[in-house]
Amino acid sequence: MARSETPNPVGNVRHNMQEKTETSKKAGGDLAALGVAAAAEAIRKGEMSSESYANALLQRARTHSDLNAFITIDESSVLQAARTADKARAAGATAPLLGIPIGIKDSYLTKGLRTTFGISNLKNYVPDHDAGSVKQIKDAGGIVFGKNNLVEMSYGLTGNNKAFGQVKNPHDQKHVTGGSSSGSGASVAARLVPASLGGDTIGSIRVPASLCGVVGFKPTTGRWPRDGVAPISHTLDTTGVFARSVDDCMLIDQVVTGEIKSDNSSQSDLKGVKLAYAPRQYLELVDPEVEAQFKDVIYRLREAGAEIIEVDLGKDFSSLALTTTWDIFFRETKEALEHFLLENKVPVTFDEIYSGLKPELKEAWGHFALPSGAGYISDQTYKNDLTVARAEIMRRYDKAFVAHGAQALLLPTTPTTAPLIDRQDKFFIAGQEVSYMALANNTIPASSVGLPGISIPIGLARSKLPIGLEIDGPLGQDRSLLSVARRVESVVGALSSPI
């Protein structure tokens, strides 16, 4: 069985979020333009085969391998699974994802397919079981297309990987994709796959979704299965999905959770929807272009019938959320990872992983994640973060969602467009020099208390790089959030294909 370890390919097909055009016109390379729902429908109706769709995506992945979006693609297995799906369809099968290839972040265990977590220690590791979400995708007829490149151990926000290389942004290869689910975001943007599973602890789905110009959905923490996914923090870790439309995210969410759609309407306005935004917190440090596009979207949503109110989450909200979340993020890494490695019989130890990390990541772990490190927080601080601080952050959100009656909170997903790869460690936002950690400034607060959030593209900057809008909802109200996001998406439109 031949294995192609193609670095991430990214492609150039029209980005059509509605994707309702006639399948008969989607011939050859145009098959890659189909999203999840449209492709699944075409396969069920016999308008195209899973094998032809898989072949189109594989060709695209080869053509755009310079994007380095994938660590591993087993082409023969993909084609064999597609042929099996076609036989199943001919026999009457109607599974919701039948014959649809899906990318999988390489932090997920995949039975029989190499899983590296982005580190060289595991370059030859092949698990004997699937992560929970992968099993759900397969059970629904989906096909594992390949394993997406990522930041080592999901610890980073730009897409830089020492062992397997930098992932490049399909809109401009001189720029980062965001991370840690870097290859997942890039491969969906480039039309290499119609969707990909990712992981989000502080923004690792929403940040690359924003910088790559795709839709990225982070469910309520714990709502999706997390078993079989290399962890950072048991308090914060969330699995989720990248796609090119909210509808596709809704379909995959339904497959993974079994929760039925709450809104089957195609309403394209926002009448009766109440939204909030908090400029004092989320426009505190953003590029002027990002702020201008965000404010334009606020205007357009009002024009479409939404009631939009301004709220204030408190002067210290941002600092409280960032400090609390980073504390928990680092404090839980060692324990969470050691437990995961033992439970899943992964053939490497925490110490071996630590020894093999790139120097800057090894330094960060040594300072913050190891009990011997100078930045390792005390038990008392950790307990306070988990209980007192998170409760206060939630109280502030409740003021927006409960006291003001908002169905969702709007904010710029990232405070800037994708930085240059050559300047990814330090760059400027609105004239102020920041580190790459600033890319998650706006995504972190929702992560701190586990709120569901989704990033959708709202346009391009003058640099032709995407700008994202994040929509956060109340705990557990994921389906309602997705319904609101779909209606917002119908107002803000879609991005064209980057390449």
Q: How confident is the model over 106-164, as pLDDT tens digits?
A: 999 999 999 999 999 999 999 999 999 999 999 999 999 999 999 999 999 999 999 99
Residue 374 lies inside a defined structural domain of this protein: yes
The tens digit of pLDDT for each residue in 152-207 reads: 999 999 999 999 999 999 999 999 999 999 999 999 999 999 999 999 999 999 99
23 pLDDT tier (thresholds 50, 70, 90): very low
Whole-angstrom distance, CA of residue 251 vs CA of residue 448: 26
pLDDT value, residue 262? 60
The tens digit of pLDDT for each residue in 286-301 reads: 999 999 999 999 999 9
Q: Quick one: DSSP state of residue 468?
A: E
Residue 497 lies inside a defined structural domain of this protein: no
CATH for 107: 3.90.1300.10
pTM of the model: 0.93
Strands 274-277 and 307-310: parallel
The tens digit of pLDDT for each residue in 264-286 reads: 455 678 999 999 999 999 999 99
What are φ and ψ of residue 401, in 5° steps? -80, -35
Residue 6 lies inside a defined structural domain of this protein: no
Cα 406 versus chain centre, distance = 24
The tens digit of pLDDT for each residue in 300-358 reads: 999 999 999 999 999 999 999 999 999 999 999 999 999 999 999 999 999 999 999 99
Q: Quick one: average pLDDT of 436-464? A: 98
Tokens representing residue 297 in the block: 């979207």
204 counts as catalytic? yes
Tokens representing residue 449 in the block: 């208390």
The vertex-289 CA angle with 286 and 293, nearest 5°, equals 100
Select which of 26, 105, 168, 218 is catalytic. Answer: 105
355 counts as catalytic? no
Select which of 50, 107, 154, 180 is catalytic. Answer: 180
210 counts as catalytic? no
Q: Quick one: DSSP state of residue 259?
A: P
At residue 13, does pLDDT exceed 80?
A: no
Residue 216 lies inside a defined structural domain of this protein: yes
Percentage above 70 pLDDT, the chain: 93
Tokens representing residue 95 in the block: 């599974």
Query: Could you list the residue range(s) of the whole structural domain that residue 441 is in?
Result: 23-492
Cα 408 versus chain centre, distance = 19
Residue 264 lies inside a defined structural domain of this protein: yes
CB 5 within 8 A of CB 65: no
At residue 6, does pLDDT exceed 60?
A: no
Residue 156 lies inside a defined structural domain of this protein: yes
The tens digit of pLDDT for each residue in 62-86 reads: 999 999 999 999 999 999 999 999 9
Residue 499 lies inside a defined structural domain of this protein: no
pLDDT value, residue 31? 95
pLDDT value, residue 496? 73
β-sheet with 143-148: strand ranges across: 70-72, 143-148, 101-105, 195-200, 238-243, 215-218, 453-460, 466-472, 408-412, 274-277, 307-310
Query: Side chain identity at 103, as an amino acid letter?
Result: G
Select which of 65, 204, 455, 483 is catalytic. Answer: 204
In the chain, the number of structural domains is: 1
Report which secondary-structure segment, H or E, holds 182: helix 182-189
Tokens representing residue 324 in the block: 């609390």
DSSP labels, 441-456:
TTTHHHHHHT--EEEE
Residues 206-223: b if buried by 16+ CB within 10 A, e if exposed: bbbbbbbbbbbbbbbbeb
Q: Quick one: average pLDDT of 87-91? A: 98
| Mean pLDDT taken over the chain | 93
Tokens representing residue 359 in the block: 């120097």
Residue 11 lies inside a defined structural domain of this protein: no
CB 488 within 8 A of CB 301: yes
